[in-house]
Amino acid sequence: MDSNPDRREFVLGFVAATFGAVLAPQSAAASGALRDQPWAVWDYKDKPVRGGYFRTAVERYIGKMNPNHWPVLDWISMGYFHERLMLTDGEYKPTVPWLLEGLKFEDPQTVLMRLREGVVFHDGSKFDAAAVKYQMEWIRDPKSNAWTAAWLVPLVSIDVVDERTLRWKFNVAWAAFAGVMANVPGYAMSAAALQADVEKYDSEPRGTGPYLLEEASPDNFLKLKRNPNWWFAKASGNPEMPYFDGIHVSVIPDPAVRLANLRAGKIDALTLDKSQYAALKDDPSITIYRIPGNHVNALRFNTTKGVFQDIRLRKAVSHALDRKALIAGTQLGFARLASCMFPGDHWCHNPELAPVTYDPALSKELLAEAGHANGLTVRGYYINTTMGQTIAEAVKNMLAKVGIDWQVDLLPAAAAAKRMQALDYELATGGWTFIYDPDLMPTGLYHPNGGFNFGRSKNDAAIALIEAGRSEIDFDKRQKIYWQLEKVLYDAYEDAWLWWEETLVAYRKNVMGWDHENFLRYRDAWFWAHPLWFKNGKA
C-alpha cells in the first residue's frame, strides 16, 4: 500500500496561553524529526556522564506491570519501561508524538497513524503496525480483562496500511482519541510477549522504554537496568542515553523513614511530604522543586437527594470555605486556589472563572433565605488518611462557623466507595487525579454513565456539553466546549472546588540535568527526553 505522501506531521497545534501560566506560544512542529521539537535541546553546561544506580523510594509497590491490568500503583516506575504512543505537552494536550511520528484525522471517524521507525521492544521484537494492532485488539478482547477496554469503545477496526502505518475507524467522531493514545492504552507492549504468555506479562513486562526490568521483589523493591537499545537515544542523537546504569525503587511506606533514607544518602530523589519542606529547605546537599500537579481537590455535593438540591445551600457551603486558609493550613501553602475542575495550566481550564470568594456573611444570608437560619445538619464522609482527616476537620470547623454541622465519617477507601455508590451522603470527598483528556473527569463525575456519579449529579446542560465535547475534533472548538462546561458547572455550584495540587520533589545535588523552567514549559515531553545523570557518574 502506498504510504501517504503527506509525511508532514499533522499540526495538532494549540492556542497560546493567555493566563499567567508558564507556557510559551509554540509554533507547529514542521516535520516529524525529533530534533525539530522545541524541547529537543540538550545544551547542558556540564556534559552528561554515564554511570550509577539511581535510587528512589515510593510508598507502594507497583503491583501489576501490564498497564491494562489492575492494580497498578506506581505509574512513574511504569514509565521507565513502558512508553506511550503520544505524550502531552505543557497544557496537558496530547500533541507530542513520541512512539508515533504523527496522527491525522482523515475524517472525524477515521485516523491515519504513522509509527516511528527503529523502535524495538525489550525482547527484540519490532515495534510495528502489526504489533500495535495486536495490542489494541487484545485490550478490546473481554477475555483479556483489560480495564482500559472501556476507553476504546468507539473503535470499529484497525487496518494495517503498511509496516509503519495504521488506519483506525471509529463508530463516532472520537475527539478524545489522541488523548487516549497519550494515556494507558497508549503504552506500547510487545505483542510477541503478550501472545506468548499473557499472565507472565504482569510480572515480566516487555516495553520500549529506557530501562528494562531486572528484578522485582513484591512489596520490597523494583530493580531496573539500562536499555542499551533505547530508540530515543539514537533518534535524538544522544547515544549515551539513558545515563544511569539502572534504577532502584524501594518500597518504604512511612514518609518519615523515606526522609531518613534521603538524609542518610540511601536514596537520591524523593517526593516529599509537604510538612518536610521546612526541615529540608536549608539542606545544602538537596534541591527541592515545586511541581504543579494535574489533580483537583474538591468537595462533592449530592445534588439529586437531600438538602443540596437547593443551589442556595450549595452556595452557602462554597462561600463558607476560606480556600486560602485551607491551603495554608492543610497544604502548608503548596497548592493553587481552584476556580473549577481543570487545573490552571490545563488547556481546558476556563481563564475567565475566578475562585469562589470567601464570604461567610453571604453564607449565613443564604442559609436563612433557604429556611435554615438556625443551622443546618448535613451528612457525609471523607477518606481517612492523615491528610484526609486534616482536611475534613478544617472544613468541618469552617462550616460550623456559619452554622452548618457537617457530620463527616472518616472512612477507608472500601467503605467510602460503598457510600458513594449508595448515594448515602450529602457532602463528601471529591476531586479527580491525573486529569489528561478532558472527557474522562466530567464523564466520570457528571454524566449518568459516569463511574463515579451513580446519579448524584444530573445537570442537563452539563451533560449535553460533555457529549458534545466527545465528538468535536477541532482542538479550538473542543476547548471552547469545555470552557463552557466549566462555566455551567461553576454557575450551578455543582461541586465545591478547593485547590489544584502541587508536589515537592527533592533531588540530591549530585543528580544533574534537571531544568525546572523547561520542565514546566514542556512537562511530559521534556521529562522523558531529558534523562538525568550523576555528577562524576556515581551516586
Task: Report the residue from 17, 29, 131, 184 that binds another protein according to the rule CB under 8 A.
Answer: 184
Q: Which stretch binds another protein (CB under 8 A): 29-37, 358-366, 415-423, 508-516?
A: 415-423
Measured from the CB atom, the residue of 389 and 484 that comes closer to another protein is 389
Using CB under 8 A as the criterion, what x/- string covers residues 236-265 for binding another protein?
--------------xxxxxxxx-xxx-xxx
Query: Which residues 6+ apart lie within 8 Å of 97 measured at CB?
Result: 9, 32, 85, 86, 87, 103, 116
> How is 94-118 classified by DSSP, letter by letter?
S-EESSEEEEEEEETTEEEEEEPSS
Measured CA distances, 23 to 283, 354, 522 (Å): 30, 20, 8
In SS3 terms, 428-448 reads as EEEEECCCCCCCHHHHHHHCC
> How is 298-342 classified by DSSP, letter by letter?
EEEE-SSSSGGGSHHHHHHHHHH--HHHHHHHHSTT-EEE-SSSS
Kindly state whether residue 5 participates in binding another protein, applying the rule CB under 8 A: no
Task: Report the residue from 285, 309, 397, 536 that binds another protein according to the rule CB under 8 A.
Answer: 397
Task: Report the residue from 10, 81, 105, 452 that binds another protein according to the rule CB under 8 A.
Answer: 452
Residue 311 C-beta: closest distance to another protein, Å: 26
Residues 185 and 179: beta-carbon distance below 8 Å: no
Task: Report the residue from 162, 283, 369, 393 that binds another protein according to the rule CB under 8 A.
Answer: 393
Query: How many residues touch another protein (CB under 8 A)?
Result: 81
Residue 114 C-beta: closest distance to another protein, Å: 28
Task: Report the residue from 293, 444, 513, 537 that binds another protein according to the rule CB under 8 A.
Answer: 444
> Taking the mean position of all CA atoms in its chain, how far away is CA 527?
14
DSSP code at position 84: B
Kindly state whether residue 276 participates in binding another protein, applying the rule CB under 8 A: yes
Residue 250 C-beta: closest distance to another protein, Å: 6
> Using CA atoms, how far apart are residues 453 and 437, in angstroms rounded to an integer?
18
Kindly state whether residue 421 participates in binding another protein, applying the rule CB under 8 A: yes
Backbone phi and psi for residue 434, each to the nearest 5 degrees, phi listed first: 55, 70
Residue 292: which of 483, 39, 504, 56 has the closest Cα? 504
Task: Report the residue from 41, 120, 394, 532 that binds another protein according to the rule CB under 8 A.
Answer: 394
Measured CA distances, 371 to 310, 316, 407 (Å): 11, 12, 20
Residue 454 Rama label (left phi>0; alpha psi -120 to 50; beta): left
Using CB under 8 A as the criterion, what x/- string covers residues 322-351 for binding another protein?
x--xx-xxx-x-------------------
> Using CA atoms, how far apart are residues 444 and 458, in angstroms rounded to an integer?
12
Measured from the CB atom, the residue of 117 and 393 that comes closer to another protein is 393
Strands 96-97 and 100-107: unpaired
Neighbours of 2 (CB within 10 A): 7
Residue list 191-210, contact with another protein (CB under 8 A):
202
Name residue, grid cell 545535588: 509
Residue 66 C-beta: closest distance to another protein, Å: 10
Task: Report the residue from 410, 461, 505, 532 that binds another protein according to the rule CB under 8 A.
Answer: 410
Residue 465 C-beta: closest distance to another protein, Å: 16
Residue list 215-234, contact with another protein (CB under 8 A):
217-221
Measured from the CB atom, the residue of 229 and 389 that comes closer to another protein is 389
Task: Report the residue from 266, 312, 480, 535 that binds another protein according to the rule CB under 8 A.
Answer: 266
Measured from the CB atom, the residue of 2 and 199 that comes closer to another protein is 199
Neighbours of 189 (CB within 10 A): 25
Measured from the CB atom, the residue of 45 and 143 that comes closer to another protein is 143
Residue list 124-183, contact with another protein (CB under 8 A):
142, 145, 147, 149-150
Residue list 15-74, contact with another protein (CB under 8 A):
61, 63-64, 69-73
Task: Report the residue from 450, 492, 501, 539 that binds another protein according to the rule CB under 8 A.
Answer: 450
Measured from the CB atom, the residue of 128 and 359 that comes closer to another protein is 359
Residue 98 C-beta: closest distance to another protein, Å: 20
Residues 465 and 488: beta-carbon distance below 8 Å: yes
Q: Which stretch binds another protein (CB under 8 A): 165-173, 233-241, 431-439, 515-523?
A: 431-439
